[in-house]
Amino acid sequence: MNQQQMTDLLDDYLRFVRIERGLSFNTVQAYRRDVKTFINFLSKQKIADFNIDTFKIDDFLSEQHDQKKSSTTMMRYISALRKFYQWLFKHRYVQSDPMQNVSSPKKQQHLPVSLSVREVDALLASPDTNQILGLRDRTIFEVMYATGLRVSEIVNLTMNDLHLELNLIRIVGKGNKERLVPISDVAISWIKDYINHSRQFLLAKANVKTRALFLNHRGTKISRQTVWKMIKKYVAMVGIDKDVTPHTLRHSFATHLLENGADLRIVQELLGHSDISTTQIYTHISKARIAKIYQKSFPRS
């Protein structure tokens, strides 16, 4: 087996996880990058076969650690290789699974950035809604905060996903999993204004009509990169001194729900988390904020 054959085998595995397991494009591409890094390492070691022992896995991880890779990245490598080797062993491409004796490092817990209600209000009010793109930007922010959608979910929303008479929108999330998410009257009002006063003008600029809800200045579906740039522009405009990304509005949505008494299971459903342990990070944020308020407010703290 040579490096090309090893890469071909990786491609077979990626087709499997994409089709059989329904993983998203971004997840599949992350698997590709991580396992390809491992294949390149083996190539440098003059190894042209996946039949290796645990010591060689340790060598690979040690090299990545020496390159100052974060614990999150190291965990991602281990996870990707563990799943890949399970597939290799099941299909008898390797004689044994060297990942069985590899333990994962403890993940450093980084609490996601969350905005206060006042900061959210300032951000949402920052676009000039008298402008076509300003009205679009305000609507995107309102929908993101009202629903907790991922940026990928926002850009992929279509007109067919809107069920505004029921105060619901249909979301196709990670792994093509569908969910219905309630949306506030305020956000619905902005959506209607955008459709009536901005979207039709943007749509007229495109040669090919699209059902995408949010459009760019050329009249085609807006990109994730555009939403990132929008966030950065308006955050700088209002002077919020935090590392704000499109995901920050999702974090803020979940945090504010929990702070106002929402049940964790409900927040899990709204966010589209398959495992409640992913949602529990927001309870830590709420506790951290409570502790901060206590320290600031209690006279004998």
Catalytic residue among 77, 145, 234, 282: 282
Give the mean pLDDT of 194-204.
Answer: 94
Q: What is the pLDDT of residue 286?
A: 56
Is 273 tagged catalytic?
yes
Per the model's pLDDT, the better-predicted residue between 53 and 175 turns out to be 53
Catalytic residue among 65, 197, 247, 289: 247
Tokens coding 69: 């890779």
pLDDT reported for residue 301: 44
Per the annotation, the verdict on 247 as an active-site residue is yes
Domains of the chain: 3-101 (1.10.150.130), 117-297 (1.10.443.10)
Query: Would the pLDDT of 32 be above 60?
Result: yes
**pLDDT-derived band at 236, boundaries 50, 70, 90:** very high
Sign of CA dihedral 253, 27, 80, 35: negative
Burial of residue 114, with CB atoms counted within 10 A of its CB: 0-12 exposed, 13-18 middle, 19 or more buried: buried
- Of the candidates 18, 36, 273, 289, the residue annotated as catalytic is 273
Catalytic-residue membership of 77: no
pTM of the predicted protein model: 0.61
C-alpha 138/C-alpha 196 separation (Å) is 14
- Look at residue 134 and give its three-state secondary structure: helix
Which of 174, 179, 224, 289 is an active site residue? 174
Distance CA 182, CA 271 (A): 11
Note the pLDDT of residue 273: 77
207 dihedral zone (left: phi>0; alpha: psi -120 to 50; beta): alpha
In whole angstroms, give the CA distance from residue 222 to residue 151: 11
Which CA distances in Å does 241 have to 116, 183, 211? Answer: 12, 29, 36
Once rounded to an integer, what is the mean pLDDT over residues 256-260?
84
Collect all residues with Cβ–Cβ distance below 8 Å to 255 and sequence separation of at least 6.
114, 282, 285, 286, 289
CA angle 177, 279, 101 (to 5 degrees): 85
What was the pLDDT predicted at 263? 81
The catalytic residue among 199, 221, 250, 256 is: 250
The dihedral region occupied by 290, where left means phi > 0, alpha psi between -120 and 50, and beta the remainder, is alpha
Residue 174 bears catalytic tag: yes
Query: CA–CA separation, 117 vs 253, rounded Å?
Result: 10
Residue 291 has pLDDT above 80, yes or no: no
| pLDDT digit string, tens, across residues 102-116 | 876 655 556 678 899
> Which residue in 150, 199, 221, 251 is the catalytic one?
150
